[in-house]
Amino acid sequence: MLPKLSAAILLLLSLQSLAADPATLYQQHCLTCHGNQRMGSMAPALLPQSLERLKPGEILSVIRQGRPATQMQGFADRLSAEDIQLLANWLRQAPSEVPQWREQDMNASRVQYLDPATLPTRPGYRADPHNLFVVVEAGDHHVSVLDGDRFEPIARFQSRFALHGGPKFSPDGRFVYFASRDGWVSQYDLYTLQMVAEIRVGLNTRNLAVSSDGRWVLAGNTLPETLVLLDTNGLKPVKTIPVKDRSGKLSRVSAVYDAAPRRSFVVALKDASELWEISYREDAEPIYPGYVHDYKMGEGLAIPGYLNPRVTPLDMVLDDFFFDTRYQHVMAASRDGSAQVINLDSRSKVATLPLDGMPHLGSGITFEQDGHHLMASPNLNSGRVTVIDMDRWQVVKQITTPGPGFFLRSHEQTPYAWVDAMMSPRKDTLFIIDKRTLQVVRELTLRPGKTNAHVEFTRDGRYALVSIMESPGELIVVDARTLQEVKSLPMMKPIGKYNVYNKVNRSEGTSH
């Protein structure tokens, strides 16, 4: 009996070593860099949420060949083709045990590089601190700070892996805050050109918003499904709010916004038909924990009731938003193209909008024409820019463009709005729309065959900065009147650039 049993165990053991188990392969070859439970450490997280945006086949090719000029080396010479395939499939699956990220993990991750109390009160350079551009270079995970008068870089530093959502500025334009895909929030000082503090608030983060009084940062996570409120003084976590809907079901956050005139944050949810508003007005009517949901309070800190979410029930999941300038109304779209207008005061739907395709409200702009307040936004799956009259909530024009675009940009000082066609074969061309006639008046191809996209204007609107989103790519300065190229700077896939003045003053020609 006994020898039989041990023979069976031996057989089992040898079978196991033959058919490689991906978890074991991970432990042997990947864990040192990619961390426990694939949560990331010196290398990025490898959870399904982390890898969502990789192109099909990319996981496989990265494991096989590695990534040039990084620590990620190819494993083709060390692992069999089957093992690499096994690993690639396994990385797409959720771990059996849901990885946690609690307040103690956040606190342990927090790094304070500089004491904010000791920072000088003036910039240490000559450039206009309000005409700086912060350029996010995704190609090698760096950020460049550009003098917007001379178009010269004044700083360049390594960022956390895969920044997204667009950086946000403190109301005085001094600090810039970044959120990374893997949950890092970074605070950078544009006066001393140094990092102030960083903290990891989650394992997968959508974006962040900074309160208009400069006191708070709110980060929205998809893993775990939480909102994390940070004190900007030291980036200390003050409160974690689990995102649960009316029925108690968890939802990922799709975006957080600062509604400055209301002094509140607005939160869009990806899996729940609710819209949340969190007021940071000290005199706001408090909503106590347990009133709407059961919220966990920040550890060891007494948080006033006014920082609790107020819920607007929706009739469907809506996760792409555009606010009117007073933040009284919000236009909201679902992924299938249904769109409606919600009044944030009455917390109810006031109009439906006949939009189809996949409107990209998040990249909308506003402008006035003959006394009408118009809003325009591109469409992610059809070549058009939709113009909506915000006084009547009606579509006044569909401007046809040669292909679906992502970003639409303008400025108070220019009659033109610029849209790309980066989701189409015409990705190398920008289309210039006259805001007075709502017609495409020019086409601009700065670098044929390459992605020309994401325009941002200087604070005076005289120049438009365009990204050539390649690695290596460029940032091209164009005279906004003559459309002549003025200068080109080498950049590694500059996915976005943000002008301090236009962002802080909420220019109607750029998104916020």
Residues in contact with ligand HEC by CB under 6 A are 29-30, 32-34, 43-44, 46, 50-51, 54, 59, 62-63, 67, 70-72, 75, 87, 141
**Look-up: residue for tokens 């003053």?**
505
Q: How far apart are CA 482 and CA 141, in angstroms?
A: 33
Instruction: Please give the backbone phi and psi of residue 305, each rounded to the nearest 5 degrees, phi first.
Output: -60, -25
Instruction: Give least dist CB 25 to ligand HEC, A.
Output: 6
What does the DSSP 8-state code read for residue 15? Answer: H
Min dist CB 76 to ligand HEC, Å, is 11
Return phi, psi of residue 306, to 5°: -65, -15
Greatest extent of the chain over all pairs of C-alpha atoms, in Å: 94
d(CA 299, CA 272): 27
Ordered DSSP codes for 399-422: EE-SS--S-EE--TT-SEEEEE-T
Which lies closer to ligand HEC via its Cβ, residue 134 or residue 492?
492
Q: Identify which of residues 23 and 483 has a Cβ nearer to ligand HEC in the complex.
A: 23
Residue keyed to tokens 């975006």? 255
Q: Nearest approach, Cβ of 470 to ligand HEC (angstroms)? A: 15
Minimum CB distance to ligand HEC, residue 221 (Å)? 17
Task: Compute the least distance from the CB of residue 164 to ligand HEC, in Å.
Answer: 12
Helix axes 81-91, 58-65, angle to 10 degrees: 130
Rounded to the nearest 5°, which phi and psi values hold at 200? Answer: -95, 115
The distance of closest approach from Cβ of residue 345 to ligand HEC in the complex, given in angstroms and rounded to an integer, is 42
- Total number of residues shown for the chain: 512
Q: What is the DSSP string of 79-143?
A: S-HHHHHHHHHHHTSPPSS-----HHHHHHH-EE-S-GGG--SS-SSSS-GGGEEEEEETTTTEE
Distance, CA of 129 to CA of 188 (rounded, Å) = 14
CB of 182 to ligand HEC, least distance (A): 9
Shortest approach of ligand HEC to residue 19 CB, angstroms? 17
Q: Which C-beta is closer to ligand HEC: that of 62 or that of 155?
A: 62
Q: Which is nearer to ligand HEC, 34 or 411 (CB)?
A: 34
Q: How far apart are CA 30 and CA 43, in angstroms?
A: 9
Minimum distance from residue 253 beta carbon to ligand HEC (Å): 20
Give the integer Cα–Cα distance in Å for 486 and 453.
17
* 74 or 402: CB nearest ligand HEC: 74
Q: What whole-number distance in Å separates Cα of residue 399 and Cα of residue 403?
A: 11
Closer residue to ligand HEC, CB minimum distance, 75 or 177: 75
Give CA–CA dist 28/78, Å, rounded. Answer: 12
If the CB atoms of residues 29 and 215 are measured against ligand HEC, the closer one turns out to be 29
Question: How far apart, in Å, do the first and last CA atoms of the chain sit?
Answer: 73
Beta-carbon neighbour count of residue 427 at 10 Å?
Answer: 19
CB nearer to ligand HEC: pick between 35 and 309: 35
Instruction: Tell me whether residue 181 or residue 503 sits nearer to ligand HEC (CB atom).
Output: 181
Comparing CB distances to ligand HEC, the nearer of 139 and 402 is: 139
Provide, rounded to whole angstroms, the least separation between the CB of residue 23 and ligand HEC: 12
